[in-house]
Amino acid sequence: MRLKLAMLTALLLACSSVWADEAVVSTFQSANEAYRHAQFEEAFKKYEQAAQKINDANVYYNMGNAAFKMNKVGLAILNYERARQLNPRNRDILENLQYVQSGLEYKVEDKRSWFVRWNDQLLSWVKLREFGYALLVVYILLLGRGCLGLILKKQLTFKSFDRFLIICLILIAIGMGLKYFNQQIRQDGVVIEPNVKVHFGPSDDDRVAFRLNEGMQVDVIDKSNDWYRISLVNGEIGWVHRKGLGLV
Partner 1 sequence: MIKKICYTLLFIISALTLPPAGWAANVQISASVDKQTAYLNEEVYLSIRINGGKGNIAAPQIPHLNAFDAFYSGRASQYSFINGQSQSTTEFNYVLIPKASGVFSVGPIEVQIEGQVYRTQPIQIEVLGQATPASAQPQPAPAYVLPNVPSSAPPAAVQPISAPTPSSEYDPNIFVRVQASKRQLYSNEQMVLTYSLLTRYDTRYEGFSEEPQTSGFWVEEFPMEREIEKRNEIVNGKKYLRADVKKVALFPTAPGEYVIKPGALKASVQIDQRPNSFLDEFFSDSFFSNAGLFARRVDKILTADPITITVKPLPEKGKPESFSGAVGQFKISSSIDKRAVKQNEPVALTVIIEGEGNIETLTHPAIPVLDDVKVYDSDAKSEFYRVKDLIAGKKTFEIILIPKSAGTLKIPALPFSYFNPQAEQYVTLSTPEYVIQVEKSAEAPVIPVSAAAGLPATPQKDVELLGRDIRYIHERLNLPSHQTKSPMFFLGAMAIGLSGIFAFLLWRTREVEAWDVRRSVMRQRYAKRTAYKSLHQLKRLMKKKTSEEHHQFFDEAERLMNQYLADQLNLSPHGLTLPVIEEQLIHRQVPGDMIKSIENFYETCGFIRYAKSEAFMASAQEMMGQIERILKEKI
Which residues of the shown chain bind partner 1 in the complex (CB under 8 A)?
Answer: 14, 17-18, 21, 24-25, 28, 32, 35, 54, 56-59, 61-62, 65-66, 68, 87, 92, 95-96, 99-100, 129, 132-133, 136-137, 139-140, 143-144, 146-147, 150-151, 153
Whichever of 134 and 240 has its CB closer to partner 1, that residue is: 134
CA 56 to chain CA centroid, Å, is 11
Contacts of 131 (CB under 8 A, 6+ apart): 172, 175, 176, 179
- Least separation in angstroms between CB 200 and partner 1: 37
Torsion angles phi and psi, residue 112, rounded to 5: -75, 165
- Least separation in angstroms between CB 247 and partner 1: 23
- Least separation in angstroms between CB 58 and partner 1: 4
- Least separation in angstroms between CB 139 and partner 1: 6
Whichever of 21 and 41 has its CB closer to partner 1, that residue is: 21
Q: How many CB atoms within 10 Å of residue 170?
A: 11
- Least separation in angstroms between CB 121 and partner 1: 22
* CB contact at 8 A, 121 and 115: no
Whichever of 33 and 226 has its CB closer to partner 1, that residue is: 33
Q: What single DSSP character describes residue 158?
A: -
Measured CA distances, 21 to 8, 28, 44, 47, 238 (Å): 20, 10, 19, 14, 42
Torsion angles phi and psi, residue 158, rounded to 5: -115, 30
- Least separation in angstroms between CB 49 and partner 1: 13
Whichever of 55 and 203 has its CB closer to partner 1, that residue is: 55
- The answer to whether the Cα torsion of 175, 181, 185, 187 is positive or negative is positive
Helical ranges in 37-127 per DSSP H: 40-53, 57-69, 73-86, 91-102, 114-125
Q: What single DSSP character describes residue 212?
A: E
Whichever of 32 and 231 has its CB closer to partner 1, that residue is: 32
Whichever of 99 and 164 has its CB closer to partner 1, that residue is: 99
- Least separation in angstroms between CB 201 and partner 1: 38
Whichever of 129 and 211 has its CB closer to partner 1, that residue is: 129
Residue 58: strand, helix, or coil: helix
- Please name which of 95, 93, 28 lies closest in space to residue 59, comparing C-alpha atoms: 28
- Please name which of 120, 58, 72 lies closest in space to residue 100, comparing C-alpha atoms: 72
